[in-house]
Amino acid sequence: MFKRSFFLAVLLLLLFAVVFAQAESITVLNRTGRSIEIIQHASSGENQWGEDLIPEQTIADGQSAGIYISGPVPWSLRFIDSSGDIYVLYEVFPPASGKIRLGPEHLARLSVFAGARRRVQIVNRTGFPIIALQLSAVGNSEWGEDVLNGQPLRDGESRTFQLEALPGTLNYDLRFNLVAESRESVYEKPAVILTNGAVIVLTAH
């Protein structure tokens, strides 16, 4: 029993060593002007981002950090800073220097208007007061918290909100509750393009 456990432990250690040896050690130099909070990678042929390579770690501007990347090359790397803006590097091969420099020139254009925080103006043209407003990314079955936070939006009134959104996601479903003749009704506005600086007009049609 002891020998079996011993050999199993040795086998696991060898397996870990092989996987670790196949991973490339790369130093990321942050020159974006902001702190980097998340780094993800996708190997060649993959269509989704992997887990955060620097969990519970932040790379301040001017600082560097080491990461390990495995999988077929070329890689794609995604970086998200403290403001929710996204930087992307495509067609990445293991650098001879072992270092990758990340600068403002790598800022993804999409993140300029589809970052994690977006300034959006909501205009009420329903003819009635809106007492609740919720958002949900298209394809997500769960609604977010009430954007109005218990403060009704009167008919004809407009209000600007700083909304939390999924970086890179443009299309959102909107659901709003309005009160007409002491009766509450629920309306939905599907697939609204929600960009930074957008003006959303809500109607009851």
* Residue 152 confidence (pLDDT): 96
Per-residue pLDDT tens over the stretch 102-155: 999 998 877 667 778 888 999 999 999 999 999 999 888 899 999 999 999 999
Same fold, 2-107 and 117-202: yes
C-alpha distances (whole Å) from 9 to each of 22, 26, 158 are 20, 29, 65
Helices and strands in the chain, H and E counts: 2, 12
* Residue 68 confidence (pLDDT): 95
Burial of 198 (0-12, 13-18, 19+ CB in 10 A): middle
C-alpha distances (whole Å) from 167 to each of 56, 85, 138, 147, 157 are 19, 7, 13, 18, 28
Neighbouring residues of 94: CB distance < 8 A, sequence distance ≥ 6: 24, 26, 73
- For residues 188-194, give the mean pLDDT: 90
Top-confidence residue, 19 or 167: 167
Q: According to the CATH classification, is domain 2-107 in 2.40.160?
A: no
Tell me which architecture the domain covering 117-202 has in CATH: Sandwich (2.60)
Contact in structure between 112 and 99 (CB atoms under 8 Å): no
Per-residue pLDDT tens over the stretch 17-37: 434 436 789 999 999 999 999
